[in-house]
Amino acid sequence: MRDFRRALASAPDAAAKTALVERFAAGHPNPFIEDNSRLTFFVKDDGTGRQPRLVGDFNTWSMGPQGYDRTIGVPTRIEGTPWSMYETKGFSNARLEYVFLYDDEKDKDKASVSDPLNPRKIRTFAGDRSEIRMPGFISHPELEEPAPAARGTLTAENFQTAQLRGTRRIWIYLPADYEKTQTLYPVAYVLDGGNYADWMHVPAVFDTLIASKRVPPFIAVFVEPGERQEEYSRSANWRAFMTNELVQSIDKRFRTFPAPEQRVVVGSSLAGYGAVDLVVAAPDVFGLCAVLSPPSKTQTLITNQVQGQRAIHGVRFYILGALYDTDVKGARELRTALDIATADVRYEEAPEGHGAETFRGYLGSALKTLLPSPPS
């Protein structure tokens, strides 16, 4: 990049500068990475003179100390050309997501676009984003490996619940060998189930984890909320639905290990709060808890309740904090509260952001930590 800047400074005119930038950009996909941490992006106007901002994990998605800040992510114009440059830094082992953002675009579907100069793209709930894998990033094998020959089954159904006065959509995942054995299986209850079962293709991740013997075979129940904000916020009816209706039904219908140390509840973001709330309220039902990027209020379930202090000693926790999460303190505060209470907890901090791909990637770490080791 130093050599490029010298050449740019000595270019005789705007046309020469433009040609120099376009040759460099053609040979170096965005971003150009130096010293394992320095990132340089080239940004071209959209043809009408409009210049996008770059917003992503590396600049907290435009969130400044005073809130959303439209001055964050503005690239620097290369004088006389339709090109601009933007520089930032990232941890050498990070995985980062970002977009080009046009603030003046009224159509939200067109305001945020992936980087045309970066071939790495991922699908998110907010649309396509560009992805950066820093030189030291280690990918999750269960997301990269080919699908195994032995695959589990996934069945969707509407579960009738008296506690919630209606139905809840659930998906039941049975491992590939379920029909061939008489084994009892641990069960993972995954909150925000529709996202994980369908949109994020997590059953395929479970197939790979089990086939590679990274985790033992297990049953998974993906549970979709109704009113998410209400049900994951200390709702007595929702707790009763999970503990008295759903768990009991699954134990009757399938060959489960009906013991708390064989039941995992998994929650990410707000559902992480819901997962901790469940184990505090019913440690005799859920003895294992995976919490991915929880909100900052989650630790109050432990610190503000005598019941929370007592309950957690029967529960084993896995907590994921995302370094590029604007609310990473939620995971850190929960870890601290559990440490002070001498709970059984493993904490992991990932150089990634708050998003579906992060949660999908670290499910394997959570399950490897919490589920019993597979037989050798």
pLDDT single digits (tens) 147-168 = 999 999 999 999 999 999 999 9
Q: Distance between CA 142 and CA 146 in Å, rounded? A: 9
Cα dihedral 238, 233, 287, 177 sign? positive
Which residues, at least 6 apart from 219, have a Cβ–Cβ distance to it below 8 Å? 172, 173, 174, 175, 178, 185, 186, 187, 188, 250, 254, 256
Per-residue confidence at 376, pLDDT binned at 50, 70, 90?
Answer: low
pLDDT digits (tens, 9 = 90+) for 297-311: 999 999 887 777 777
What is the phi/psi pair of residue 76, to 5°?
-95, 125
- State the CB neighbour count (10 A cutoff) for residue 47: 7
Whether 374 has a pLDDT exceeding 70, the answer reads: no
User: For residue 354, which of 292, 262, 274, 281 has the smallest C-alpha distance?
Assistant: 292
Q: Thinking of the domain 141-370, which architecture would CATH place it in? A: 3-Layer(aba) Sandwich (3.40)
Q: Mean pLDDT over all residues of the chain? A: 93
Distance CA(190)–CA(343), nearest Å, equals: 22
Question: What are the phi and psi torsion angles at 232 (to 5°)?
Answer: -90, 10
Residue 313 confidence (pLDDT) = 85
DSSP designation for 282: -
- What CATH code is assigned to 2-133? 2.60.40.10
Whether the pLDDT of residue 8 is over 70: the answer is yes
Specify the DSSP element, H or E, that contains 321.
strand 316-322
The answer to whether the CB of 351 falls within 8 A of the CB of 290 is: no
Q: With the C-alpha atoms ordered 136, 138, 144, 149, is the resulting torsion angle positive or negative? A: positive
For the purposes of burial, counting CB atoms within 10 Å of the CB of 173, is it exposed (0-12), middle (13-18) or buried (19 or more)? buried
Q: Which residue in the block uniquely carries the two structure tokens 């707000």? A: 270
Residue 142 has pLDDT above 60, yes or no: yes
Tokens standing for residue 288? 């294992």
Q: What is the pTM of this model?
A: 0.93
Q: Do residues 279 and 313 lie in contact, with contact meaning Cβ atoms separated by under 8 Å?
A: no
Q: Would you tell me how many other CB atoms lie within 10 Å of the CB of residue 182? A: 5
Q: pLDDT digits over 40-57, tens only?
A: 999 999 888 889 999 999
pLDDT at 375 > cutoff 90:
no
Q: What angle do CA 313, 316, 322 make, to 5 degrees?
A: 125
Compute CA distances 66 → 59, 62, 70, 264, 329, whole Å: 14, 11, 11, 38, 17
Decide: 87 and 40 in contact? Cβ < 8 Å.
yes
Domain boundaries, the chain: 2-133, 141-370
Helix (H) or strand (E) holding 68: strand 67-68
- Tell me what pLDDT residue 292 has: 98
Cα–Cα distance measured from residue 80 to residue 83, given in angstroms and rounded to the nearest whole number: 9
Is pLDDT of 372 > 80? Answer: no
Q: Give the percent of the chain with pLDDT over 90.
A: 87
Question: What pLDDT shows up at residue 109?
Answer: 67
**Where does the pLDDT of residue 119 fall: very low under 50, low under 70, confident under 90, or very high at 90 and above?**
very high
| pLDDT given for residue 163 in this prediction | 95
pLDDT per position as a tens digit, 57-95 = 999 999 988 889 999 999 999 999 999 999 999 999 999
